[in-house]
Amino acid sequence: MTGAQTLEYKGKVLQFTPENPAEADIPADELHEHLQNPSTERTRRLKACCRWKHASAGEFCEKGVTAGIERMRLLTESHWDTRGKPEPIRRALGLKNILEKCTLVLQPDEFIVGYHAEDPNMFPLYPELSYMAVQDYLKSKYSPQPAKEAQEIVDYWKPFSLQARCEPYFDPVDLRRGYQVSTIEGPVFASGYNSVIPPYETILEDGLLARIALAEKNIEHARAEMEKFPWNAPTGLEWIDKIDNWEAMVIACKAVIAWARRHARLCKIVAERFETDPKRKAELLEIADICHRVPAEPARGLKDAMQAKWFTFLICHAIERYASGYAQKEDSLLWPYYKASVIDKTFQPMEHKDVVELIEMERLKISEHGAGKSRAYREIFPGSNDLFILTLGGTNGDGSDACTDMTDAILEAAKRIRTTEPSIVFRYSKKNRAKTLRWVFECIRDGLGYPSIKNDDLGIQQLLEMAKYSRNGNGVTPEEAHYWVNVLCMSPGVAGRRKAQKTRSEGGSAIFPAKLLEITLSNGYDWSYADMQMGPETGHAKDFATFDQLWEAFRKQYQYAIALAIRCKDVSRVIEGRYLQMPFVSALDDGCMELGMDANVLSEQPNGWHNPITTIVAGNSLVAIKKLIYDEKKYTMEQLMDALKANWEGYEEMRRDFKNAPKWGNDDDAADALISRFYEEILGGEMMKNINYSGGPVKPVGQAVGLYMEVGSRTGPTPDGRFGGEAADDGGISPYSGTDRKGPTAVLRSVSKVQKNQKANLLNQRLSVPIMRSKHGFDIWHAYMDTWHDLNIDHVQFNVVSTEEMKAAQREPEKHQDLIVRVSGFSARFVDIPTYGQNTIIARNEQDFNAQDLEFLNAEL
């Protein structure tokens, strides 16, 4: 019905003409170019000169983006100078050296200030993490200069790097398999990829001076305890590490205050000595005042809060250590300052529209934020910078609706300024107010691909369930469990002053069932990409007399790969705790402050997870094999293997049979039963037998990001009818693109059958532009969402974009700079995605809503 304008439903004839009549005059193939509406001329200007840092296929899309050398240089200088000191203090002094000596950046028009490299076209590197990742940069056109010095730095750090320190604990064969990124994502220590949930609440509420005072008081107490008579070594010696950690916190916090105040000085100098525009001069002096006060002191108004939060982000995500993400419950975090500035007008008085402008500026700061990630991560989020995802909505600790006017301001800003980042997660609850849901819908309808929607109740429940595994009995309370955010794109984690996830070693990284199935058919051998043994020898498929034998062989491959993957994370965790302390992050965490522990070491709320990606290629393949080989015996396994080795050439009829076997997402009981069992028994059941550092089971988070393209390209032909090198399925639980043929509610019914042993599963759906932009769009979407919620489904995210517009953008990319699409877990500028990836989005089924669908949704139209 996507092309039609009418539908008969419950005795009425529904018209699907645009809700905004003016849109009837806009050509369908350029709609997105007409949707931007920045709230002020300032944000329009800022967007026009935004220094985008999108990456794709390992390359940066914009010219002139390059790695900087300053962070590497200053960290190395300090590391050399601090030999012999305790490791936490070395880390703090390293941060201090960087913040004291680094170049600061101030751009025209901006209100939120601060950048993490010596030039706004640059990004920093992290030689202390992965030596391979940094060496790759030095061989590329993005190498920091001077190249000779950069090489000396990399050579210096190699033995001290996280990667070099972790590698000895693994068999080189296992490492080589992990480095492929075909059966599992590369070990965190080999890429340096990371995530963190900074305790923004602490810095906004307390300010750093208060944290310094706390740490100093703790040190004083510790020393007094150590000096007591009689001396008791078992307890007395425990103070040593704590004192080191507290000292490190003090050094780090003082360094951050001084660095923030350097920004104040810069703004003041430019205002008083160079700026000629009186309005901008006054504004620079205001910024100077803010940067002098925060984050040293608590935030008092919304401008304070935004600046303190931004400084904290830069340190936690880019200067102290690299971390992807922008995890925060932004509406709740900023609500007290919205109240102070907009409602009570007691400090930094402003109107709601000024808040929208501030958030637009924040979005543009994020869009300029270059990430010095390894090549793998420059491949797997094509068309975007990095995974910057904030969370909104949901419910408060007392169960009430958490949506406020701050929520609406963030959503309105996103709709107006149209950037790919930060992406937004909305925690959907039946208690959410209609006004905010309307904003959520309008962002989705405008094709932003976000908010991505998470089930609020499920997030709360899983945090409470994991709390019981807490190593120190201090897991989240029921109230704290309501304060959850997505750590990156899919997995909930608690946020706030304490207990939040501080390292990706806790949860994250991926495993690839499609590739595992491929090697299962060949005795664990990867014939299609690496030409090497990739897993245990579990037999050749032609010798599996029953489907159960194949199932069990896959189980063994999966067990090997998942245990290796989780072991990589936990070994990294231990080494991070020894050598990669985060004294600034630790200073903000109330648990670390109380206990004198580093943030990598302390674990109070387990949050272990791992991401199966490319599951549906494997699932659909198992369904086809069972049907055509073991049940109907139409083909033998030997015939299938011959066809796969030939990439189906000469086997067209056979390929059609395998391609036309029942597919996931069509509410087909037989296919869904087998695939649900696959999810629950193997992907979840086997994964959960592994216990991580924090003492809890590791649970599956079905995902994709752009890995469905990368791993697809490293996976040979598969029994679902796929050719070698074709993309895999684009979401954790999404039907394979184009194979969901029974409509959107059939997809929901299939997905709702997977319930057990899961943490999360990503569902991509593409909705019709004419339907969503009609006057019935919101009501249909709302009915869909309520049904989704009641079916106990974890997640859904939407593309609302026409094929004709995407194809027009392929022909003339320069005319479609504002076309944004949802890839999977993140949104991207369509024209910055390689053609291969663009075609996977075009191939996604655009869902029609027929009368039966609307009946199932109980839509009142």
Partner 1 sequence: MSATPHTQVHWEENTPSPCRKCKWQTPDPTDPLRGQCTVNRHAMGGVWKRWIRDVEHMTCSRHEEGELSFRDHV
Partner 2 sequence: MTTCKDCEFFFSVPEDADDFEKSKGDCVTQKEDEKGKYWLTRPVFENNQCCSTFHKR
Binding site for partner 2 (CB under 8 A): 49-51, 64, 100-108, 118-121, 254, 257-258, 261-262, 265-266, 269-270, 273-274
Contact 56, 832 (CB under 8 A): yes
Our measurement of the distance from residue 840's CA atom to the centroid of its chain's CA atoms, rounded to an integer in Å, reads: 20
146-170 burial by CB neighbour count: b if 16+ within 10 A, else e?
eeeebeebbeebeeebbbbbbbeeb
Residues 480-519 binding partner 1 (CB under 8 A) are none
Could you say which of partner 2, partner 1, none residue 49 binds, taking C-beta under 5 to 8 angstroms by partner kind? Answer: partner 2
| Helix orientation angle between 513-520 and 547-579, rounded to the nearest 10 degrees | 130
Short-list 565, 600, 606, CA closest to 585:
600
Other C-beta atoms within 10 Å of 469: how many? 18
| Nearest distance, CB of residue 34 and partner 2, angstroms | 24
| Nearest distance, CB of residue 143 and partner 2, angstroms | 19
Could you tell me the two tokens for 537?
């020898």
By CB under 8 A, residue 61 contacts partner 1:
yes
| Nearest distance, CB of residue 48 and partner 2, angstroms | 9
**Which part of the chain contacts partner 1 (CB under 8 A), choosing from 444-452, 568-576, 593-601, 832-840?**
832-840
Contact 511, 183 (CB under 8 A): yes
Could you say which of partner 1, partner 2, none residue 474 binds, taking C-beta under 5 to 8 angstroms by partner kind? Answer: none
**Which part of the chain contacts partner 1 (CB under 8 A), choosing from 332-340, 421-429, 641-649, 745-753?**
641-649
Could you say which of partner 1, partner 2, none residue 299 binds, taking C-beta under 5 to 8 angstroms by partner kind? Answer: none
User: Taking CB under 8 A as the rule, which mask of x and - marks residues 371-390 in contact with partner 1?
Assistant: ---xxx--x-----------
Short-list 453, 468, 304, 481, CA closest to 395:
481
Could you say which of partner 2, partner 1, none residue 406 binds, taking C-beta under 5 to 8 angstroms by partner kind? Answer: none
Q: How many residues bind partner 1 (CB under 8 A)?
A: 45
User: How many Cα atoms within 13 Å fall on the side-chain side of residue 384?
Assistant: 29
**Which part of the chain contacts partner 1 (CB under 8 A), choosing from 103-111, 252-260, 309-317, 829-837?**
829-837
By CB under 8 A, residue 528 contacts partner 1:
yes
User: Taking CB under 8 A as the rule, which mask of x and - marks residues 219-258 in contact with partner 1?
Assistant: ----------------------------------------
744: preceding bond cis by omega (within 30 degrees): no
Could you say which of partner 1, partner 2, none residue 646 binds, taking C-beta under 5 to 8 angstroms by partner kind? Answer: partner 1
Q: Give whichever of 217 and 807 is closer to partner 1, judged by the CB atom.
A: 807
Could you say which of partner 1, partner 2, none residue 817 binds, taking C-beta under 5 to 8 angstroms by partner kind? Answer: none
Instruction: Give bridge partners of residue 9 from the DSSP assignment.
Output: 12
| Nearest distance, CB of residue 192 and partner 1, angstroms | 11
| Dihedral over alpha carbons 306, 308, 309, 310 (to 10 degrees) | 80
| Nearest distance, CB of residue 56 and partner 2, angstroms | 20
Could you say which of partner 1, partner 2, none residue 274 binds, taking C-beta under 5 to 8 angstroms by partner kind? Answer: partner 2
| Nearest distance, CB of residue 258 and partner 2, angstroms | 4
By CB under 8 A, residue 837 contacts partner 1:
yes
Cβ contacts of residue 576 below 8 Å, gap of 6+? 162, 503, 505, 600
Contact 372, 435 (CB under 8 A): no
How far CA 606 is from CA of 377, 394, 751, in Å, comes to 26, 22, 27
Among 41, 531, 814, 860, binds partner 1 (CB under 8 A): 531
Q: Give whichever of 186 and 684 is closer to partner 1, judged by the CB atom.
A: 186
Among 156, 169, 179, 347, binds partner 1 (CB under 8 A): 179
Radius of gyration of the chain (CA): 27
Could you say which of partner 1, partner 2, none residue 660 binds, taking C-beta under 5 to 8 angstroms by partner kind? Answer: none
Could you say which of partner 2, partner 1, none residue 379 binds, taking C-beta under 5 to 8 angstroms by partner kind? Answer: partner 1
| Sign, Cα dihedral of 101, 107, 109, 112 | negative
Which helix (DSSP H) or strand (DSSP E) does residue 478 occupy? helix 478-481
| Nearest distance, CB of residue 668 and partner 1, angstroms | 25
Q: Give whichever of 10 and 265 is closer to partner 2, judged by the CB atom.
A: 265
In this structure, the strands spanning 764-767 and 760-761 are unpaired
**Which part of the chain contacts partner 1 (CB under 8 A), choosing from 119-127, 130-138, 557-565, 780-788?**
130-138
- The whole-angstrom separation of Cα 742 and Cα 853 is 10
**Which part of the chain contacts partner 1 (CB under 8 A), choosing from 113-121, 183-191, 509-517, 604-612?**
183-191
Q: Name the burial class of residue 521, with classes exposed (0-12), middle (13-18) and buried (19+) by CB atoms within 10 angstroms of its CB.
A: buried
| Nearest distance, CB of residue 216 and partner 2, angstroms | 16
Q: Give whichever of 100 and 812 is closer to partner 2, judged by the CB atom.
A: 100
Could you say which of partner 1, partner 2, none residue 477 binds, taking C-beta under 5 to 8 angstroms by partner kind? Answer: none
Residues 712-751 binding partner 1 (CB under 8 A) are 712-714, 716, 723-727
- In 354-509, which ranges are E strands? 389-393, 423-428, 452-455, 484-486, 492-494
| Nearest distance, CB of residue 683 and partner 1, angstroms | 23
- The whole-angstrom separation of Cα 841 and Cα 827 is 12
- The whole-angstrom separation of Cα 235 and Cα 260 is 38
DSSP class of 797: E
- The whole-angstrom separation of Cα 683 and Cα 757 is 8
| Nearest distance, CB of residue 259 and partner 2, angstroms | 8
By CB under 8 A, residue 135 contacts partner 1:
yes
By CB under 8 A, residue 87 contacts partner 1:
no
By CB under 8 A, residue 814 contacts partner 1:
no
Q: Give whichever of 264 and 424 is closer to partner 2, judged by the CB atom.
A: 264
Q: Give whichever of 121 and 603 is closer to partner 2, judged by the CB atom.
A: 121
Contact 387, 381 (CB under 8 A): yes
Q: What is the DSSP string of 409-451?
A: HHHHHHHHH--S-SEEEEEE-TTS-HHHHHHHHHHHHTT----
Could you say which of partner 2, partner 1, none residue 118 binds, taking C-beta under 5 to 8 angstroms by partner kind? Answer: partner 2
Could you say which of partner 1, partner 2, none residue 637 binds, taking C-beta under 5 to 8 angstroms by partner kind? Answer: none
| Nearest distance, CB of residue 201 and partner 2, angstroms | 25
Other C-beta atoms within 10 Å of 224: how many? 10
Could you say which of partner 1, partner 2, none residue 545 binds, taking C-beta under 5 to 8 angstroms by partner kind? Answer: none
For 352, the 3-state DSSP assignment is helix
| Nearest distance, CB of residue 185 and partner 1, angstroms | 9
Contact 825, 701 (CB under 8 A): no
Short-list 327, 348, 328, 329, CA closest to 337:
348
- The whole-angstrom separation of Cα 644 and Cα 626 is 16
Q: Give whichever of 117 and 711 is closer to partner 2, judged by the CB atom.
A: 117
- The whole-angstrom separation of Cα 519 and Cα 772 is 43
How far CA 286 is from CA of 110, 272, 280, 281, 290, in Å, comes to 12, 12, 10, 9, 6
| Nearest distance, CB of residue 139 and partner 1, angstroms | 5
Residues 31-60 binding partner 1 (CB under 8 A) are 56-59
- The whole-angstrom separation of Cα 127 and Cα 372 is 11
Could you tell me the two tokens for 388?
């910057």
Residues 300-319 binding partner 1 (CB under 8 A) are none
User: Taking CB under 8 A as the rule, which mask of x and - marks residues 643-682 in contact with partner 1?
Assistant: --xxx-----------------------------------
Residues binding partner 1 (CB under 8 A): 56-59, 61, 132-133, 135-136, 139-140, 179-181, 186, 190-191, 374-376, 379, 527-531, 645-647, 709-710, 712-714, 716, 723-727, 834-837, 839
